[in-house]
Structure 1
Amino acid sequence: MKDIQRKKLIRVTTADISLDGLLKGQLKFLNQYFEVIGVAKDTGVLKEVSEREGIRVVDAPLERPISLVNDIKGLWFLYRLFRKEKPWCVHANTPKGSLLAMIAAWFAGVPHRIYTVTGLRYQGAHGVLRKILKGMEVCTCFFANKVIPEGNGVKQILQEDHITKKELNVILNGNINGVDIDYFSPDHFTAETRINGKLYTGSKEDIRKDLNLSKDDFVFIFIGRIVGDKGMNELSDSMKRFQKEDKNVKLLLVGRFETELDPLKSGNEDFLRNNPDVRFVGYQRDVRPFFIAADVLVFPSYREGFPNVVLQAGAMGLPSIVTNINGCNEIIKEGQNGRIFPSKDADALFKEMNWCIENKDFIKVMASQSRKMIVDRYRQEEVWKATLKEYEKLEE
C-alpha cells in the first residue's frame, strides 16, 4: 500500500446526523490511515461522533433548505476552513453540503475533491425547483474531480440525465458504508437480555408486549423520515383499507414527521400519530428492537440512493416491500428477499402488503434468505477496505 498515512482527509455532510448514521465506524477506520476531520452542522450529536470515531470535528453553518444568504455564509466558512487546514482530500456526501464543499475546495486549491452521490433530490421535484436542484447536481459534479455513485441506479441516471461526463464507478455492490452485520443481527436480542423488565429488549414476544402488539398481529414496519416523498400518503391509504377489512394488521412507525419540509395530505399525519392500528414511536437511535417486533419492512419511497434501512432490515432477517427505484431494486431480488412495486401506486402497495398477509409461509422463506443475501454482498468491513483503495488510487 502507498504511504498515505496522516494526510489530511476532510469528510463533509450537511448535518451531523449524516456523519453519525451514514459513516458510523468508517471514519474511525480511515483515521488509521489519514488525519480525518468531520465537518457538518451540529444538531446535537457532533461531539458524540468525535468521541466515538476518535476524530476532530468542526461545526459548520450548513443548512439543508435553499437560502442564498445562508448558503453564501456556509460557502465562505468552508473556503476559509479549507485554506487553513490545507487538506489532501475533501470528500462530501448529502446534496447541500457536497455542493458547497466541492465549490469551496476547488477555490481553496484542494487537490482531490470527491463527491459521493447518495441520492438525487431533483427526481422528486417539478418545474423550477427541479431545474434548480438538477443544476446543483451538475455544479457539484463539475467542481469535483471524482464522482462516486452510491449504486448502479444512481450511476445510470447521472449518465442518462447528462449530469456529468466524468468516469463513474460504484464501490463494490453499492452503498456508502455497508452494514455492521454483528450489530444488525437478530440473535442480539434474546430473552436472556431482558434485565429488570427493560423495554424493547428480549424476545420478539417481549418487545411486542411492550408495544401493545399481540402474537397474532401481522406487523409491517417503516423506518425513516415520515414525509410524502417517502410514500407515507400511500402507506396511510393502505392501512385505512386494512382497517375496513378488519384484519389483524399493524404498522410500526419509527421516525420523525417533517411537516414544514414535506407535509402529508390532510388527515394522514393525525392518522399515523393516533390511530390504534399504528404504533408511532418517534425517532429511535437503536432501531433493532423494532425490526425484531416486525414481520415485514414496507418502504414505499419515491427516490433513494441506496437505502440503509433496507440493508439493515435484511441483516435483521426481515423481507422487504420496496418501490422499483434506485438502490431498492438492487438490494431486493423479487421473490427471494422481498417484493417490488411501482412507486406512487397506492393500489399496488396495498396488494403487495395483502399478499404478505395471505402468504405467511412464503414470508418465512424470504425471511430465512434475507440475512445471507445482505451478509454476502454488503459486509461493512469490505466496503471500508474498498473505499480506502479508492483513496489509494488518487494521484499524488
Structure 2
Amino acid sequence: MNKILFIATVENHIVSFHIPFIKYFQKKGYEVHVATKLGQRHEELKGAGVILHNVNFERSPYSLSNIKALTQLKTIMRKNKFSLVHVHTPVGAFLGRLAAKITNTKPVLYTAHGFHFYKGAPFKNWMIYYNMEKIAAYWTDGIITMNDEDYEIAQKLHIKNKENVFKVHGVGVELDKYYKDETVRFETRKKLGLNKDDICILTVAELIKNKNHKQLIDAMKIINKNNVFVFFAGNGEYEKVLKKYASENNLDYKIKFLGYRKDIPELLSASDIFCLMSYREGLPRCIMEAMAAGKPVVATNVRGNRDLVKNGINGFLVPVNDVNSTAEAINKLISDENLRKKMGVEGRKIIQDYSIENVLKEMDKIYTKFID
C-alpha cells in the first residue's frame, strides 16, 4: 500500500488544519501516517484512522530534544517507504526535510503557515528562521504558501524549481458550518449572559504573546460602554497574565475568558464584531471563520490579516499596538448596525474562494504533480 507522511511539531496543528487532507489521501487508498508530539488530542487523530508516531519535538529550535526527534524521524522513514512527505510548522518542517534528505525519502512538500521572519520581525527571527528555511529549501521539492508576502519570499529561497512554489487559499473553511440562523444566535447569547442590545466582541486565539490580546483590553478602556463585552475563546500560557491585567484595569465584568471551545460556529453567531490583534499571522483561520459567519473584522495590519480583511470593505485594519485606532474602529461598528451587516455580507463574498472545496482542488493539483 502506498503511504503518505504528515509531519508537524504539535498534534493540535494536524487536528485543527489537516484532517480534510488526510481524508483526501485515504479516499484515494493511501495509508496515512502522522509524526508529531502527541498530547491531549491524540484520540481525535486515532479516530481519523491514521498511523501515529510520537516524536519528541520541541517548538524551540534550541532544544536538545530535537536531536532525538531527528533520530526518530529517520527511523520512521527507513521503516516505511513513503510516496510523499508533507511537512508543517518551522521545527517539524526543518527536521522532517533533514531526515528525508538523509534517508533519501522524496518528494517532500512544505507548507509555510506564516514564516517566522517577515517585514518588521525581530532580527533574531531572521537570523534563526530565515537561515533554517534557506538551508532546508535545498531539500524541498515544493513550497506551499498562503499569503502574498510569504509567496514572494519563498520564490527567493533556493528551491530546485521556482515553478514549484505555490500559493493556495489557506487550509480551507467549511463555509456553511459557520453561517447560523437567528435561533442559534439567540440561544448562544442567552448562555453567554448577553441581553438583546449588548454588543459581543469575540476573539478566537491561543492566549499567547503573539496574539496580543492586551491591545483589545486597552481599547476597551477607551470604549467604556456598559453594553459592550469581550469574549476570549482559547487557552494558553498568558491566561493568568491577561486575567490579572483585565482585573487591574477594572474590566473583569467586561472581559470574559471562555477557555478552549469546540462551539466556535455558535460563538461567532452570537457575536457582533470579531477582533484579532496579532503581531504575526500566516493566514488566520479564525478570521476566515468570522467572515464565513458574516461578521465584520477588526484586525492588525499585518501579513495574513490584510490578505483577508479589506480595510473599509469587510472590516478595519489597525496598526499593531495602536489602541486609539483600535477603539475608533470598534466604536464605528458598535454605533452602526447597518455597517456591521454590510461588512458581514462583503466578508461572505470574499471568503468564497477560501472554501474547503476550493482549497482541496488547489491541493489536488499540487499533490498529483508530485505523486505522479
What is the TM-score when the length of structure 1 is the normalising length? 0.86
Q: Does 1:107 align with 2:102?
A: yes
Aligned-partner SS, 2:19 = coil
Give yes or no for the alignment of 1:332 onto 2:327: no
Q: Which residue of 2 aligns with 1:362?
A: 339
Find the counterpart in structure 2 of residue 98 from structure 1. 93
Of the three residues 356, 359, 363, the one matched with 1:383 is 359
Q: 1:171·1:386 contact (CA, 8 Å) conserved in 2?
A: no
Equivalent residue for 1:259, pick from 229, 238, 245: 238
Kindly indicate which of the two structures has a greater share of residues assigned to helix.
2
Out of 83, 87, 102, the position equivalent to 2:78 is: 83
Q: Aligned residue for 1:227?
A: 208
TM-score (norm 2): 0.91
- Contact 1:179–1:312 (CA<8 Å) still a contact in 2? yes
SS of the equivalent of 1:373 reads helix
Total equivalences in the alignment: 368
1:221·1:296 contact (CA, 8 Å) conserved in 2? yes
CA contact (8 A) 2:142 2:165 kept: no
What's the secondary structure of 1:394's corresponding residue?
helix
**Counterpart in the other structure of 2:179:** 185
1:388 offset after TM fit, Å?
1.9
Q: Distance in 1 between matches of 2:291 and 2:229?
A: 20
Structure 2 equivalent of residue 198 of structure 1: none
TM-aligned CA deviation for residue 362 of structure 1: 1.0
Distance 2:174 2:223 in 1: 35
Note the C-alpha offset of 1:270. Answer: 4.7
Structure 1 residue 314: Cα displacement: 0.9
Residue of structure 2 in register with 1:286 after alignment: 263
Shift of 1:318: 1.0
**Using the alignment, how far apart are the partners of 1:266 and 1:280 within structure 2?**
8
TM-aligned CA distance change 1:171 to 1:292, over 3 Å: same
1:23 to partner: Cα distance: 1.0
Deviations 1:366-387 (A, max 9, x none): 123322321x211202211221
Aligned to 1:208: 189
Return the offset for 1:247.
Answer: 4.2
* 318-327 vs 305-314, which moves further: 318-327
Identity %, equivalent residues: 26
**Tell me, which stretches of 5 or more residues in structure 1 are unaligned?**
1-5, 192-202
Asked whether 1:140 is paired with 2:136, we answer yes
Note the C-alpha offset of 1:57. Answer: 2.0
Q: Structure 2: how far apart are the matches of 1:269 and 1:89? A: 47
User: Are the equivalent residues in 2 in contact too, given 1:186–1:317 (CA < 8 A)?
Assistant: no
> For 1:268 and 1:163, how far apart are their aligned partners in 2?
42
Which of 146, 152, 170 is equivalent to 2:148?
152
Question: Which portions of structure 1, spanning 4 or more consecutive aligned residues, are displaced by more than 6 angstroms?
Answer: none
3-state SS of paired residue (1:317): coil
Quote the Cα distance in structure 2 between the aligned partners of 1:216 and 1:269: 23
Whole-Å separation in 1 of the counterparts to 2:262 and 2:134 = 34
Partner of 2:370: 394
Structure 1 residue 40 corresponds to structure 2 residue 36: yes
Q: Residues 157 and 241 of structure 1: is their aligned pair in 2 closer, same or farther, counting only changes over 3 Å?
A: farther
Match of 1:217 in 2: 198
Please tell me the residue identity of whatever aligns with 1:135.
N
Q: Deviations over 1:60-93 (max 9, x none)?
A: 2112123442010111100111111121211111
Could you tell me which residue of structure 2 aligns to residue 194 of structure 1?
none
Aligned to 1:178, what secondary structure does the other structure show? coil
